[in-house]
């Protein structure tokens, strides 16, 4: 499976949603996650993310995000259409420690 990682937070471009063939993205207030049981591992979302926030769960950078995606995919609603990103998305791209400061 693939996972959404920290740099999605407060960027939330949602380009990933438009390309996923199985609609397995779930939406929180300021980021998305991937449902690990629904993702078919096709990989098409990874290069589409402008914030480079998507990784295979086997990637070293996936780390604790594997459990994070699993946990919130069970709680958040599915998102099946892309939305306008936050107005300041571009300036948030690459910010450090977004989980601590911008996740809600
Ligand atoms: Fe969807 Fe494929 Fe990305 Fe999994 S890897 S979330 S199935 S686009
Ligand atoms: Fe997040 Fe990238 Fe999708 S910023 S919403 S994982 S396109």
Cα of 66 to ligand 1 centre, how many Å? 14
Report the number of distinct structural domains present in the chain: 1
- Digitized pLDDT (tens) for each residue of the chain, 104 residues in all: 999 999 999 999 999 999 999 999 999 999 999 999 999 999 999 999 999 999 999 999 999 999 999 999 999 999 999 999 999 999 999 999 999 999 98
Which CATH number characterizes residue 31's domain?
3.30.70.20
Structure confidence at residue 32 (pLDDT): 98
Atom of ligand 2 lying closest to residue 89 CA:
4
Tell me, yes or no, whether 48 lies in a domain: yes
Sign of dihedral through CA atoms 101, 29, 61, 65?
positive
User: Which residues, listed in sequence order, are joined to residue 27 by a DSSP beta bridge?
Assistant: 32
Nearest CA to ligand 2 atom 7: 49
Task: Describe the chain by its helix, strand, coil percentages, rounded to 5.
Answer: 30, 10, 55
User: How far does CA 55 lie from the centroid of its chain?
Assistant: 9
Residue 37's alpha-carbon distances to 2, 55, 71, 102, in angstroms, are 10, 16, 12, 27
- Structural domain containing residue 31: 2-82
């Amino acid at each position: 499976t693939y996972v959404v990682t920290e740099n999605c937070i407060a960027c939330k471009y949602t380009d990933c949603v438009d390309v996923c063939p199985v609609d397995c993205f779930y939406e929180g207030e300021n980021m998305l996650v991937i449902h690990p049981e629904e993702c078919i591992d096709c990989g098409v979302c990874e290069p589409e993310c402008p914030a480079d926030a998507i990784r295979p769960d086997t990637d070293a950078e996936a780390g604790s995000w594997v459990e994070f995606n699993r946990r919130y995919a069970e709680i958040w609603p599915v998102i099946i259409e892309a939305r306008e990103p936050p107005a300041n998305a571009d300036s948030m791209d690459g910010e450090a420690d977004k989980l601590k400061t911008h996740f809600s």
